[in-house]
Structure 1
Amino acid sequence: MRDAVLIAAQSGRALAQAARRAGLRPFVLDLFGDEDTLDLAEEHRVLPGRFGMARRGAEAVLSGLDVLAERAGNRTLGVVLGSGFEDAPRLMARIAARHRLIGAGPGTVAALKDPGLFAALCARLAIPHPSVTTDPVEDRRGWLMKRAGGSGGSHIRAVTAGRAPPDHYLQKRVTGHACALNFLAGGRGIAVLALTEQWSHPSAVRPFRYAGAIAPGRGEPASLPTKLFTEITAAVARIAEATALQGLASADLLVDGETWWLLEINPRPGATLDLLDRRPTPLLLQHIEASLGTLPALDPSPVDAAGSEICYAAQRYASMPPLDWSDFTRDRPRAGSLVARDAPFCTVTASGPNSEAVKQTLRDRAGAIAALLDGREDTHGYRHQAAEHQRAGRAAGRPSGR
């Protein structure tokens, strides 16, 4: 019998897919229970509540993992945590007391996702990071309000008068092109997987919600000058070493000419996992190896570019009808399930000879999903927009992030 791996995440589909590619049996705990997740999982349990539900739903997480561990048997490698635990290092510590954690530990997550601690660390390491505060600010237009430990742009809001609410903080606005350095950390140093381009799909109340990303093909011109890329990579490596970060992670950046800002480190497999797991060696195996403190040797990067984009529901679906899903879709809601208005409906994927070709294909495919949902033949109603981003949070009903 093959080894098993436990997966707990807001959406476990991408990790379950990576586990299957690595020859492992995935046992998945997530909020969605999407159609393709159920097809991939050896066994699945749906979590109630919200993400970040981690602190409020701690007992459900622990009991769910215990049940899955029992079903998986004694050939279980451990637990891989995806999105949703950034604000819950104490819960991570409780999980680690029962199961082996694969990836960043609770102390690392606490150091990276506490806004004050992270800002102080960046200052100590001379890494450019926007100023943060919880105090009232004079020019509210020059700041953004974020939820501590939030994932994705859905939690980012305009600043209101007074102090930041509990579990929130203010971050000074900075400008630049949004990208992310995706890497493996283990022991000393990091191994860079890709510099991905990111964009948002703004809504009226969520102007920074995450939409998608593209990993460039091997032969494409570098998007950053070599000197700047080297500077950013060295800075991220210093952060990884200072926090004992291990496993797959990403650094969200804004780059404006020769000026750049590190917004945050995401110490987990993230929304770009599908784009990164295209080398001959399965990425989840390398995530496990890096989590043991050894940086793996990377295969050459893929020749083709690849991208993915989240399609958000323009209306509420109390009961999803059965759909004939295209091969380019992922995270497919089950027939009969609830999808809230403005929540993620599905993800579209594409590959091609270069980033521009992939962008166009994503536009077309997202438009086709929009037409499918509202019965139009026009496939251009879903716009591709470039903007700042973070990763997703939650809308009413179906959670608004992965």
Structure 2
Amino acid sequence: MTRPGGAILIAAQSGRALAAAARRAGLRPFVADLFGDADTRALAAGYRQVPGRFGAGPGGRAVLAALDALAAEAGPSLGVVLGSGFEGSPALMRAIAARHRLIGAAPDTVAALKDPPGLAALCTRLAIPHPPLSLDPVPDPENWLLKRRGASGGGHIRPAGPGPVPRGASLQRRMPGRAQSLNFLADGRRILVLADTAQWSAPAPGRPFRYAGAVDPGGMPEGVRAAATAAVAALAEATGLRGLASADLLVDGSDWWFLEINPRPGATLDVLDRRAEPLLLRHIDAAGGRLGPTLALPPDAAATEICYAAEAIAPVPPLAWPDFVMDRPLAGSRIPAGGPICTVRAAGPDAEAARTGVRARTGAVRALFTARETVP
């Protein structure tokens, strides 16, 4: 079993949640991310901000350079944990793995899970219900969604239109239901379910499915949870998935459809890491092939929500942020219209109370900026 005390490298679009999970696990996080938020920097034992986007070209080289510098600063480390931003770049993952020990899903596993035609074929072979997929134009595009390969966060999903399907995208048939996820650990052969969560969107012009927040527990029907657990276990075994991951579903009563697997610690990490045992230690163990015992459920519910900027904020003023605010932008930084300001969290005796609390707190954060704008 992994013991606390060591250094760990982290690379993600936003590394704050992983850095917080590392500190809770007694580890020293050395973080590379895109945002450089104030609390990320405070949590990190070492930090590098990466310009631009992850992927091939300059963005990929910047990630490699940042991780190399952090590794030199950290000395011996457990390895590197990758968060969001790498699903569409298995080549970059392979380049990282050639220099550092990867803790989590292997590049080939991620490539298999993020290949829509291949994943759909695997689901068909394993008899897993999933929406029909097409790489070609369809006669009824109003009944389909356009999704970009390897993307995350829901902001890339659009209503389909007529004409050819863009390169690097696919069409997925619209299905009814509520967005839910099964969150689990995998050791390459088996899975251990941690929780089911429910998600909701914050629609914006041109981005009707932009991710907003999540709540644990999600209230997934027991029959659906059992069937989805069996399906996800089969997918994890077929692809050799390891580490902390989540499977996105659409749930409509007793009917459900599998959408995708996020083969990494994701946006629900803040609501999941409330068990007595730090979750990042279990992620490291599962990545090494040690699944471990069942984790006890927390006694309460928790929710997080991203607070998006209705208008551009330039610059961010100095603020006394409430304790419930995470991903705090640096004073003087700039946030574009529609960009994330911060993440807000709340807890309660049940899921409804947690969601009510997090929405009220998101409103309170927006009021911080509205109040400053209206001061004469």
Give the shorter-chain TM-score range: over 0.9
Q: Counterparts of 1:124-273 in structure 2 under 5 Å?
A: 124-216=125-217, 223-273=219-269
Preserved CA contact (<8 Å) 1:371 1:377:
no
Residue 336, structure 1, aligned to residue 332, structure 2 = yes
The aligned counterpart of 1:65 is 67
1:348-379 per-residue CA deviation (whole Å, 9 max, x = no partner) reads 1001111111111112101111111112899x
- CA offset at residue 8 of structure 1? 0.3
Q: What SS does the aligned partner of 1:102 have?
A: coil
Give the one of 24, 30, 41 matched to 2:27. Answer: 24
Whole-angstrom CA distance in 1 between matches of 2:373 and 2:346: 21
- Aligned runs of 1:110-129 on 2, under 5 Å? 110-129=111-130
Q: Which moved more, 1:330-339 or 1:54-63?
A: 54-63
Distance in structure 1 (CA, Å) of the matches to 2:39 and 2:372: 26
Q: Distance in 1 between matches of 2:246 and 2:142?
A: 28
Match in the other structure for 1:390:
none
1:29 touches 1:47 (CA, 8 Å); kept in 2?
A: yes
Aligned match for 1:285, one of 263, 276, 281: 281
2:293 to 297, 313, 329: 297
Displacement of 1:141: 0.4
Q: Report the Cα distance in structure 1 between the residues aligned to 2:333 and 2:220, rounded to whole angstroms.
A: 43
Q: Match of 1:280, SS?
A: coil
Question: Are positions 1:78 and 2:74 aligned together?
Answer: no
What amino acid is aligned across from residue 300 of structure 1 in structure 2? A
Q: Which residue of 2 aligns with 1:397?
A: none
Which amino acid in 2 is paired with 1:64? A
SS in 1 for 2:183: strand
C-alpha contact (below 8 Å) 1:8/1:30 kept by paired residues: yes
How far apart, CA to CA, are the structure 1 residues paired with 2:359 and 2:61?
41
Q: Say whether the 8 Å CA contact 2:223–2:254 is kept in structure 1.
A: no
Q: Do residues 325 (structure 1) and 318 (structure 2) align?
A: no
- Give 5+ residue unaligned stretches, structure 1: 217-221, 379-402
Partner AA of 1:208 in structure 2: F
Q: Residues 95 and 377 of structure 1: is their aligned pair in 2 closer, same or farther, counting only changes over 3 Å?
A: closer
The CA distance in 1 between the partners of 2:241 and 2:221, in whole Å, is 26
Q: Any unmatched runs of 5+ in structure 2? A: none
TM-score, normalised with respect to structure 1: 0.90
Name the CA distance, whole Å, in 1 between partners of 2:223 and 2:352. 25
Q: Give the corresponding residue for 1:345.
A: 341
1:74-107 residue CA offsets vs partner (Å, 9 max, x unmatched): 2x00000000000011111111010000000001
Cα distance between partner residues in 1 of 2:206 and 2:147? 13
Q: Decide whether the 8 Å contact of 2:179 with 2:200 is kept in 1.
A: yes
Shift of 1:336: 0.8
Give 1:190 shift: 0.8
Aligned position for 1:36: 39
Aligned residues: 370
**Alignment pair present for 1:4 and 2:22:** no
Q: Measure the CA separation in 2 of the matches of 1:302 and 1:65.
A: 34
Q: Which residue identity lines up with residue 16 of structure 1 in the other structure?
A: A
Identity %: 61
Separation of aligned partners in 1, 2:15 and 2:211: 17
The answer as to whether partners of 2:249 and 2:256 remain within 8 angstroms in 1 is yes
TM-score, length basis structure 2: 0.96
Q: Say which SS state the counterpart of residue 306 (structure 2) adopts.
A: strand
What are the equivalent positions in structure 2 for 1:366-381 lying under 5 Å apart? 366-375=362-371
In 2 relative to 1, CA 202–195 (structure 1 residues): closer, same or farther, beyond 3 Å?
same
Separation in 1, partners of 2:158, 2:204: 12
- Asked if structure 2 preserves the Cα contact closer than 8 Å seen for 1:6 and 1:65, the reply is yes
Which has the bigger relative contact order, CA under 8 A and spacing at least 6?
1
Deviation at 1:58, TM superposition (A): 1.1
Measure the CA separation in 2 of the matches of 1:45 and 1:162.
43
SS at match of 1:154: coil
Letter paired with 2:152: S
For residues 255 and 114 of structure 1, the distance between their equivalents in structure 2, rounded to whole angstroms, comes to 23
In the alignment, the residues of structure 2 paired with residue 68 and residue 223 of structure 1 have an alpha-carbon distance, to the nearest angstrom, of: 41
1:199, distance to aligned residue in structure 2 (A): 0.4
Match of 2:73, SS? helix
Q: Corresponding residue for 2:50?
A: 47
Partner of 2:312: 316
Counterparts of 2:276 and 2:115 in 1: how far apart (Å)?
36
> After the TM superposition, which segments of 4 or more aligned residues of structure 1 sit over 3 Å from their partners?
none
Root mean square deviation of aligned Cα:
1.5
Q: CA deviation at 1:158?
A: 1.9
Q: Does structure 2 retain, via aligned residues, the 8 Å contact 1:182–1:249? A: yes
Give deviations 1:226-259, integer Å, cap 9, x for gaps: 3322111000000000000000000000011221
Q: 1:67 to 1:377 in 2, by over 3 A?
A: closer
Residue in 2 that maps onto 1:387:
none
